[in-house]
Amino acid sequence: MSKADRDARPAPENAGPATELPERASGERGAAAIKAALKTMPASPGVYRMLSDKGEVLYVGKARILKQRVTAYTQPGRLDPRLHRMVANTASMEVLTTGTEAEALLLEANLIKKLKPRYNVVLRDDKSFPYILLRLDHDWPQVIKHRGARRKKGEYFGPFASAGSVNQTVTALQRAFPLRSCTDHVFTNRTRPCLQHQIKRCVAPCVGLVAPDDYERLVEETRAFLKGRTREVQDKLAGRMQEAADDLDFERAAGFRDRIRALNHIQAHQGINVQAIDEADVVAMHQAGGQCCVQVFFIRQGRNYGNRAYYPTRTKDQSEAEVVAAFLGQFYEDKEVPRLVLVSALPDDHALITEALSTRAGRKVEISVPQRGDRRTLLRHALHNAKDALARRRAESASQRELLEGLADRLGLEAPPQRIEVYDNSHIQGAQPVGGMIVAGPEGLLKNQYRKFNIKGEAGSQDELGGDDYGMMKEVLKRRFSRLLKEDPERDQGMWPDLVIVDGGLGQLTVALEVFEELGVTDVALCGVAKGPDRDAGREKFFLPGVSPFLLPERDPVLYFVQRMRDEAHRFAIGAHRSKRTNQIGRSLLDDIAGIGPRRKKALLHHFGSAKAVADAGLTDLERVDGIDRTVAQKIWDHFHPNA
């Protein structure tokens, strides 16, 4: 039980003053620390941080007048239970002043998102949105998917809710507007049309099969469609299709027909369209059972670019207006702000948030609760999605809870595990070995906490491990838990697992026990899961310390749960291994020699024909290469003959 939870427990009815003293005394200590900070606190706008005695940031807040706002915390008896616990845990404060309250609001959102304080509403959002980019930095523009900083020259359209929706839209755009999709390198070196031209998804500008003016017209049509002038583009294509049909050029007419169909497919796929709204985000929130879901719909150029669900944490004691205010501040901290934001409830400090978002966007931003018309219909649709998403999440949470309880029962654990780490290794006969760790808990798989380990061997050499699975597992576990002991020795940051599952049998379990014994880890449960005969799913054997191996019934939901986690760890480890192997394919023996850059590498390969021939060359032969003097030649020879 955390300190905050212990502080939250009600006192027994028959408890006297002695029972209440520790909590009251703790609250008074926190208030005293705040009073001490008030002595030097400025009466200006800014952001304040409350810190625990361990330096943990408990809460981040903003104020128009810092001294006046913080004074309210010096009387914890008048605060609600959540804030009372926060004050009780406060040991010191830090302050950052700003020029205006709007600047303080933006800084507050930035710090909350970065620090994730215990008593703030926190939006867990670590993904950027994808966009469609119409590249204009090449003589022959193209349409591509883009994510990240907008450094490339061109026009950006979005955001889209997911990479999948962007991919589908780009694919359909290639059918409607057959611009090139190849890289600049492929385009430059192409000598004949590629498959994309044969299936009518590219007009092959790389080999001169389209005139520049005709290609520019395609670019303009693409731009017009992406800017929402759909009817204009479709009418032009329909007119040209009719002209081709009148000229009895039915093949050309069929091409225009297929392009019109592709445009209709894009519009149908984007679901509800609100032509009355050109650019807006729709933010709808639903609360139930102490949990919260916020649905965000992205409307651009009158079309729905998809929606995404968010589940802010620590919202149980917060009103809808407070949650919406915290969400907007953190959500737009690193994202483009549209001109209109439709919300299900006006946020706290509505005027201030509007001013802050307008400052960030560099133009006027409107935040409103629609009451009628298309806007109200769109908000109701978003609310319905939020309610359904939260219901599914709560049902999944209940199911996940049952599985964790069942797992604890089967493995003899004292309580359902709140964090499970599953480990697996991947390699090919010892080459490019990689370890993978996946994490699961009450909310399912926590993919942002997955980790991969490039296995190095005890002396930094993979060669000594060969295909030693036990040695690889030992290195992975030792590195993981050595780091945990250094970074979270108090085990209060939620990063320590309750259960570790290793893919393998008694050997892997024994290795894990040795690592734990060496590091002094005694309170983490261990389990080995070996695949069945002929890798038969359903016949997995479970290995626990001091217990005879056992099987679970073939239809046991807990067995399926363990299989899914093991398969996910296997998938993650294999993916990391393949990525590493792909990166190694383009490497040369010469890449590891210090001082050998691309020019010298090219000269050596031209002279000797291969990297192996360079390795076998004598010192005198190396000196004959252009750009290789005696010092560099000696360095190359020493690299390939370390024991000479």
Three-class HEC string of 446-506? CHHHCEEEECCCCCCCCCCCCCCHHHHHHHHHHHHHHHHHHHCCCCCCCCCCCEEEEECCH
Could you tell me if residue 340 is left (phi over 0), alpha (psi between -120 and 50 degrees) or otherwise beta? beta
Q: How far apart are CA 335 and CA 319, in angstroms?
A: 25
| E strand segments, 18-63 | 46-51, 57-63
Looking at residue 265, its pLDDT comes to: 66
* 329-345 pLDDT, tens digit each: 999 988 889 999 999 99
Q: How confident is the model at residue 428 (pLDDT cuts 50, 70, 90)?
A: low
Q: Tokens at residue 156, please?
A: 């950006």
Fold topology of 279-392: Nucleotidyltransferase; domain 5 (3.30.420)
Those residues with Cβ within 8 angstroms of residue 564's Cβ, 6 or more apart along the chain or in another chain: none
The percent of residues in the chain predicted with pLDDT above 70, rounded, is 87
Q: Give 639 or 138, the one with higher predicted confidence.
A: 138
Looking at 131-204, list the stretches that DSSP marks H as alpha helix, in order from N- to C-terminal side: 163-176, 184-189, 195-198
Expressed in angstroms, the distance from the first to the final Cα of the chain is: 62
CATH 1.10.620.20 fits 3-8+33-115, yes or no: no
Model confidence at 87: pLDDT above 60: yes
Looking at residue 404, its pLDDT comes to: 93
* 217-271 pLDDT, tens digit each: 889 888 888 887 777 777 777 887 888 888 887 877 887 787 777 777 666 545 4
Q: Tokens at residue 227, please?
A: 């800017």
Selection from 150, 109, 107, 153 nearest residue 128 by Cα: 150
Model confidence at 463: pLDDT above 70: no
The SS3 of residue 84 is helix
Looking at residue 581, its pLDDT comes to: 58
Selection from 343, 348, 162 nearest residue 269 by Cα: 162
588 with 601: CB under 8 angstroms? yes
Q: How confident is the model at residue 46 (pLDDT cuts 50, 70, 90)?
A: very high
CB atoms inside a 10 Å sphere around CB 548: 7
Looking at residue 364, its pLDDT comes to: 93
Selection from 226, 234, 300 nearest residue 261 by Cα: 234
205 with 217: CB under 8 angstroms? no
User: What are the φ/ψ torsions at residue 345 (nearest 5 degrees)?
Assistant: -150, 135
Model confidence at 438: pLDDT above 90: yes
The conformation of residue 589, written as its DSSP 8-state character, comes to G
Looking at residue 71, its pLDDT comes to: 92
Looking at residue 268, its pLDDT comes to: 56
Q: How far apart are CA 581 and CA 337, in angstroms?
A: 41
| Least confident segment among 193-202, 481-490, 528-537 | 528-537
| Least confident segment among 85-94, 301-310, 443-452 | 301-310
Model confidence at 450: pLDDT above 90: yes
| Least confident segment among 408-412, 445-449, 576-580, 640-644 | 576-580
206-211 mean pLDDT: 91
Looking at residue 392, its pLDDT comes to: 84
Q: Rounded to the nearest 10 degrees, how much is the dihedral formed by the CA atoms of 207, 208, 212, 216? A: -50
Q: Tokens at residue 459, please?
A: 């002396």
Q: Give 153 or 586, the one with higher predicted confidence.
A: 153
Model confidence at 612: pLDDT above 70: yes
Looking at residue 366, its pLDDT comes to: 94
* 269-302 pLDDT, tens digit each: 454 556 668 889 999 999 987 889 999 999 887 7
Could you tell me if residue 302 is left (phi over 0), alpha (psi between -120 and 50 degrees) or otherwise beta? left
CB atoms inside a 10 Å sphere around CB 534: 6
Domain borders along the chain are: 3-8+33-115, 131-269, 279-392, 420-584, 589-640
Q: Answer whether 3-8+33-115 and 279-392 agree in fold.
A: no
| Least confident segment among 58-72, 147-161, 459-473, 618-632 | 459-473
Looking at residue 27, its pLDDT comes to: 65
Model confidence at 15: pLDDT above 50: no
Q: How confident is the model at residue 213 (pLDDT cuts 50, 70, 90)?
A: very high
Looking at residue 237, its pLDDT comes to: 78
* 510-538 pLDDT, tens digit each: 999 999 999 988 889 999 999 876 555 66
* 586-609 pLDDT, tens digit each: 456 676 777 787 788 888 877 777
Selection from 303, 308, 307 nearest residue 276 by Cα: 303
CATH architecture for the domain at 589-640: Orthogonal Bundle (1.10)
Q: Tokens at residue 291, please?
A: 């949990």
Residue 214 host element (H or E)? helix 212-226
- Give Dmax (Cα) for the chain: 99
Could you tell me if residue 634 is left (phi over 0), alpha (psi between -120 and 50 degrees) or otherwise beta? alpha
Q: Rounded to the nearest 10 degrees, how much is the dihedral formed by the CA atoms of 515, 519, 522, 527? A: -20
| Least confident segment among 147-151, 178-182, 320-324 | 147-151
* Cα dist from 338 to 155, 158, 297, 622, whole Å: 16, 11, 12, 62
Model confidence at 505: pLDDT above 70: yes
Model confidence at 9: pLDDT above 60: no
Q: How far apart are CA 388 and CA 633, in angstroms?
A: 69
Q: How far apart are CA 337 and CA 317, in angstroms?
A: 28
Looking at residue 544, its pLDDT comes to: 94
- Identify the CATH class of 420-584: alpha beta
Mean per-residue pLDDT over the chain, rounded: 83
Q: How far apart are CA 386 and CA 283, in angstroms?
A: 10
